[in-house]
Amino acid sequence: MVSRDEFVSRFGGVFEHSPFIAERAFHKGAVIEPLTSGGVHGALVEVFRAASADERLGVLRAHPDLAGRLAIAGELTEDSREEQAGAGLDRLSPAEHARFTELNGAYVTKFGFPFIIAVKGLGKDDILAAFETRIGNDRDAEFATATAQVEKIALLRLQSMLPES
């Protein structure tokens, strides 16, 4: 059986900088072995959805801006760096980077958290189109969309770490 420390060490970053989710899932006994991507995802998502609105907002705020200052400074988590690079966000033209910067600022001002999208399988044009569409949402709709995207990112990360269930 996997220990609490091992579980939190291994899965504490699946929800960006939010190890409390893995800690609570383990504490609840929601972790079923053998560990599979679907099983761990289900346990983590249950905890995420049961978290307070402020805690879920904190998880959203833990995500970096797409092609933002952390990316430029090389300070993204390894998962975020690989995800953004896979979508071509590390190879933006100056004009594209300026557009992402403008949208990031407007989005955070409007919603109070960064734009979040599961970028796997998407290119920079797909991401920009989603950005431009979603910035027109109201806060409740965008909070729901962003939390769904966080759950999708978590599943994709777990699928790269564990066998399918």
Catalytic residues: 63
CB burial string 89-118: b at 16+ within 10 A, e below: beebeeebbebbbebbeebeeebebbbbbb
User: Are the C-beta atoms of 20 and 36 separated by less than 8 Å?
Assistant: no
Q: Residue 138, exposed/middle/buried by CB under 10 A (0-12, 13-18, 19+)?
A: exposed
